[in-house]
A and B are shown apart, each in its own frame.
Chain A
Amino acid sequence: MSADERELVRLASSGSGAPDDVRRALEAASLDVPSKERVEEMLARFPFPPPNDGGAGPAEGDPSASGATGAGAVASAAAGASKAAGLKLALALGAVTVAAAGTVLALRAPPEPSPAAPTHSAAPAAPSALPALTATNEQASAGASGVTSASAGASSSVAAPTALPKSGVSAGASAAPSASAPPPRAELELLKEAHQLRAQDPSRALALVSEHASAYPKSAMGQEREMIRIEALLNSGKRAEAKALADAFRAKNPTSAYARRLDALFPP
């Protein structure tokens, strides 16, 4: 007799004959789920790349839209539609990985005076990167608004990245190729800048990636970090080194969603 035929009566069901306390425990267990608000909060903090395709962003990010009706519902509709577009881009590690940082930074970053300052010193990348980032941040805050009280703080600090011309507090640090400021910078900020610079200033991007690797050795964004490193190496003409890393990456993460991207960069 196969196990298939023996699908068991679940203990929680009324006919199971399980003792009361077992049934009660299972009933209680089934109720132990996070509230809707909490799920939205987790989603808002999730470091996935939001859409970054210029045209779609501002419309969906219109804060008035989410203010009109139940914020959660509208935000989820907008997010659902647009994040889907963002997903593909992200998996190709397009221009996006990092735009999410705005959201996450806003919610998680310690109250540093100017998380945006380093971008300023990275002048060449800033002008093109900014508009998209701004739109994304607005969208993120629209999505989060009305959902959690934390997001009130978020939308104010979300504005920070757009307030670019800021005192050059960390200009020195980011100008030096091997910046090692004593307090590690927020991890997504590091990756964001590294990702932005991987084409224009690959050596700077590599320095940032190394900084990230030593400050956050167990980062959940390790795969993203390695992808940036590989692309930056490629852009500095170090193809052999990039290939070696790519091979190591593929060996370590054989099922990674970045495998296709690597196959495209280094045809087998």
Chain B
Amino acid sequence: MSPSVPPFTEVFRQHAPFAWRCLRRLGVAAGDADDVCQEVFLVVYRKLADLDPEASLRAYIYGVCLKKAADHRKKAHVRREAPADALPESDSALAGPDVTLDHRRALAKLDVALMALDEDKRAAFVLYEVEGLSLQEIASASGCPLQTVYSRLTAARRYVESSLAETREELR
């Protein structure tokens, strides 16, 4: 066995929480996130032995997440659902004592803004601002040039900021 290929269980434990988090912000409802996450890792599982150990496994996994989240949203039963469910998962850290109501409200507003974005801009925003990938990793995960990621990200930021600013005005 090649020592350079990490065991699948290790990969799963290390990356599944972040894949799951990313899927949620990409619009996968909390109730579906486990299943979609499993689909992501079934792909990872099949490919693991063939992956270039030098390449970013993280970027690869996020790439699969983008694909599976997009597939998921195309399903009819998903489209009919509300765009974002603000209910935190009961066993996510989001439900923990450190998270204030303000945080949860802000996140719900962010989710609404994200769902109004197109897929590509939303992906750029989530991968950069939530997942902390580099622009280069995002380019690799989304299969597009760096410059494209940059412009998607800046456009997404402008939209998110103005969307949240609008709701601030409304609440005043």
Q: Let me know if A29 and B107 touch, CB within 8 A.
A: yes
| Residue A31 lies at the interface, judged by CB distance under 8 Å to chain B | yes
Name B85-115 residues within 8 Å CB distance of A.
88-89, 91-94, 96, 98-100, 102-104, 106-107, 109-110
6 shortest interchain CB distances as A-B pairs? A84-B7, A25-B110, A25-B106, A28-B107, A3-B150, A28-B103
Chain A: residues with CB nearer than 8 A to chain B?
2-4, 6-8, 10-12, 18-19, 21-22, 24-35, 37-39, 42-43, 45-48, 76, 79-81, 83-85, 87-88, 91, 220, 223, 255-258
Cα A28 to Cα B101 in complex, Å, equals: 10
What are 21 residue pairs bridging A and B, where the CB atoms are less than 8 Å apart in the complex? A2-B146, A3-B147, A10-B132, A19-B161, A19-B165, A21-B106, A22-B161, A24-B106, A25-B109, A33-B18, A34-B91, A34-B92, A38-B91, A39-B12, A76-B9, A81-B7, A84-B9, A87-B5, A87-B48, A87-B49, A220-B38
- Give the Cβ gap from A105 to chain B, nearest Cβ, in Å: 15
Cα A48 to Cα B149 in complex, Å, equals: 34
Cα A48 to Cα B44 in complex, Å, equals: 11
- Give the Cβ gap from B58 to chain A, nearest Cβ, in Å: 15
Contacts of B149 in A (CB 8 A): 3
B1 is contacted by which of A7, A19, A84 (Cβ under 8 Å)?
Answer: A84
Contacts of A35 in B (CB 8 A): 91-93
| Residue B56 lies at the interface, judged by CB distance under 8 Å to chain A | no
- Least CB separation from A86: chain B residue: B8
| Residue B66 lies at the interface, judged by CB distance under 8 Å to chain A | no
Cα A37 to Cα B17 in complex, Å, equals: 11
Residue of B13, B24, B129 with most chain A CB atoms under a 10 A cut-off: B129
Cα A146 to Cα B78 in complex, Å, equals: 34
Name B5-61 residues within 8 Å CB distance of A.
5, 7-10, 12-13, 16-18, 20-21, 24-25, 33-34, 37-39, 41-42, 45-50
Q: Let me know if B38 and A11 touch, CB within 8 A.
A: no
Q: Let me know if A29 and B136 touch, CB within 8 A.
A: no
Contacts A29-B107, A32-B107 given: A46-B12 contact, CB under 8 Å? yes
Contacts A26-B130, A80-B10 given: A33-B21 contact, CB under 8 Å? yes
B8 is contacted by which of A11, A24, A83, A223 (Cβ under 8 Å)?
Answer: A83
Q: Let me know if B93 and A31 touch, CB within 8 A.
A: yes
Q: Let me know if A28 and B106 touch, CB within 8 A.
A: yes
- Least CB separation from B163: chain A residue: A22
Cα A89 to Cα B1 in complex, Å, equals: 10
Q: A33-B93, A76-B9, A258-B46 are in contact. List 6 more A-B contacts (CB 8 A).
A: A19-B165, A24-B100, A25-B109, A28-B104, A46-B42, A80-B7
Q: Let me know if B8 and A25 touch, CB within 8 A.
A: no
Q: Let me know if A43 and B109 touch, CB within 8 A.
A: no
Contacts of B12 in A (CB 8 A): 39, 42-43, 46
Q: Let me know if A29 and B25 touch, CB within 8 A.
A: yes
| Residue B70 lies at the interface, judged by CB distance under 8 Å to chain A | no
Contacts A21-B164, A27-B103, A83-B9 given: A32-B110 contact, CB under 8 Å? no
B88 is contacted by which of A3, A32, A87, A220 (Cβ under 8 Å)?
Answer: A32
Contacts of B46 in A (CB 8 A): 91, 223, 256-258
Contacts of B104 in A (CB 8 A): 28
Q: Let me know if B157 and A11 touch, CB within 8 A.
A: yes
Cα A30 to Cα B46 in complex, Å, equals: 28
A255 is contacted by which of B47, B130, B164 (Cβ under 8 Å)?
Answer: B47
Name B104-159 residues within 8 Å CB distance of A.
104, 106-107, 109-110, 128-130, 132, 134-136, 146-147, 149-150, 153-154, 157
Contacts A25-B164, A83-B8, A87-B48 given: A43-B13 contact, CB under 8 Å? yes
Contacts of A26 in B (CB 8 A): 110, 129-130
Q: Let me know if B9 and A31 touch, CB within 8 A.
A: no
- Give the Cβ gap from B161 to chain A, nearest Cβ, in Å: 6
- Give the Cβ gap from B165 to chain A, nearest Cβ, in Å: 7
